[in-house]
Amino acid sequence: MDNINKLRYDSRMQEIESTLVINPLEDINKLKALASEPRIQMLNLLREKTLNINEISDALKLPQSTVATHISILEDAGLIATESVKAKKGNQKLCCPSFRELLIQFPEKHNTSGDFIEVEMPIGIFTDYRVTAPCGLCSSEHIIGLLDIPDSFLNPERMKAGLLWCGSGTFEYKFPNNTMYESKKMTKLEVTLELSSETPGTNTNWPSDITMWINKTDIGTWVSPGDFGDKRGKYTPAWWKLEGSQYGLLKHFSVTNEGSFVDGMKISEVTLDDLKIPEHHSIRVKIGVKEDAEHMGGMNIFGKGFGNYDQGIVLRSYFN
């Protein structure tokens, strides 16, 4: 294979999502595509590097026509991406996966009450992340992986996480877009979660600029006043030392037709129209500290089993 073409295509791997979440109730085509041993073997091969049809055929000892059929099914299901590039003789189709990690998950129960829909997301089910040390995560029972090693966030136990922290960086979550099935017009989108700054040893006077993006749009920044360790969090487990972050502040980020707000205070002019929610099957929520933030004071996200509020990240869609 042409090394230049391969390097160019491999660069696309940096843009794919860390985790592809499959909803069995809606993504039946993806499940059907996975229900084949040869296709599973192909996905396993493509985890390591990009390959063309011939290379896959040689590795699995399958006819090229059979491989081409399987690749077409995987591509139609959105499980791989392909690109036709020039080769020494004609063109070749390069293939790479559309994900680094695959999660089959039934949708979280969502509450409907009056004029809003609510979905709660466990903090460990992020679909992408970029973090710098100090960083780590833990469940209500123990630390997950190794401290200050960003790769620890790939540990499957992250699904049980009750606390995430980083010096800078972001975590992104994909919520189901339940607004697509409502006849009423949405008037407000609200994200509620427990947050604080992050510094070794805690410090109540340690400001940090924590920004939220929804559907890749920066809706604004809230300045966290500090990292709180003056007393144990209401739900923080006894084994977690008092020297560690204990609790945060429950913050309500919201977007309306008038702008974006935190706890009712306007932080930007971004409106619901800017988020283009009707155009997407999911609602992407990203939270973090920018690399060029004025106050780069890190971030703690508290979930179930930690902090003062026994909850994950709650997304509410309000209607007329």
Rounded Cα–Cα distance for residues 19 and 67 (Å): 25
| Claim to verify: residue 38 and residue 138 sit in the same structural domain | no
Higher pLDDT, 41 or 11: 41
CATH of the domain at 98: 1.10.10.10
State residue 108's pLDDT score. 54
Residue 118 has pLDDT above 50, yes or no: yes
Its pTM stands at 0.72
| Each residue's pLDDT tens digit, 166-187 | 999 999 999 999 888 777 889 9
State residue 109's pLDDT score. 52
| Claim to verify: residue 120 and residue 180 sit in the same structural domain | yes
| Claim to verify: residue 137 and residue 70 sit in the same structural domain | no
Contact indicator for 18, 63 with CB cutoff of 8 Å? no
Residue 74 has pLDDT above 60, yes or no: yes
pLDDT band at 12 (very low <50, low <70, confident <90, very high): low
Secondary structure (3-state) at 301 = strand
Check the CA dihedral 40-44-49-51 and report its sign. Answer: negative
Residue 1 has pLDDT above 50, yes or no: no
State residue 9's pLDDT score. 47
pLDDT band at 160 (very low <50, low <70, confident <90, very high): very high
State residue 90's pLDDT score. 75
pLDDT band at 112 (very low <50, low <70, confident <90, very high): very low
Mean pLDDT of 43-65: 91
- Burial (0-12, 13-18, 19+ Cβ within 10 Å), 166: buried
CATH of the domain at 129: 2.60.120.260
Strand-pairing partners, residue 262, are 253, 265
State residue 157's pLDDT score. 95
Domain end residue (candidates: 75, 102, 129): 102
209-234 in b/e burial notation, b at 16+ Cβ within 10 A?
Answer: bbbbbbbebebbbbebbbbbbeeebe
Strands (E), 54-180: 80-86, 91-97, 99-104, 110-113, 116-121, 128-132, 136-138, 163-166, 168-176
| Claim to verify: residue 126 and residue 92 sit in the same structural domain | no
| Claim to verify: residue 171 and residue 38 sit in the same structural domain | no
Rounded Cα–Cα distance for residues 33 and 19 (Å): 17
| Residue-range definition of the domain harbouring residue 15 | 3-102
Higher pLDDT, 9 or 195: 195
177-189 in b/e burial notation, b at 16+ Cβ within 10 A?
Answer: bbbeeeeeebebb
Number of domain units in the chain: 2
Residue 273 has pLDDT above 80, yes or no: yes
Nearest to 194 by CA among 318, 314, 316: 314
Nearest to 245 by CA among 187, 193, 306: 306
Rounded Cα–Cα distance for residues 93 and 51 (Å): 8
Average model confidence (pLDDT) across the chain: 89
State residue 72's pLDDT score. 93
| Claim to verify: residue 214 and residue 271 sit in the same structural domain | yes
| Claim to verify: residue 96 and residue 122 sit in the same structural domain | no
Secondary structure (3-state) at 145 = coil
Which residue stretches of the chain are H helix? 3-10, 28-34, 37-46, 53-60, 64-76, 272-275
Residue 292 has pLDDT above 50, yes or no: yes
Domain end residue (candidates: 81, 102, 123): 102
Nearest to 301 by CA among 132, 201, 170: 170
State residue 214's pLDDT score. 98
| Claim to verify: residue 143 and residue 229 sit in the same structural domain | yes
| Claim to verify: residue 115 and residue 90 sit in the same structural domain | no
Domain end residue (candidates: 77, 102, 127): 102
| Claim to verify: residue 92 and residue 120 sit in the same structural domain | no
State CA 160 to chain mean position distance: 15
Residue 283 has pLDDT above 70, yes or no: yes
Higher pLDDT, 10 or 152: 152
| Each residue's pLDDT tens digit, 228-267 | 998 999 999 999 998 899 999 999 999 999 999 999 999 9
| Claim to verify: residue 25 and residue 139 sit in the same structural domain | no
| Each residue's pLDDT tens digit, 201-234 | 899 999 999 999 999 999 999 999 999 998 999 9
| Claim to verify: residue 203 and residue 72 sit in the same structural domain | no
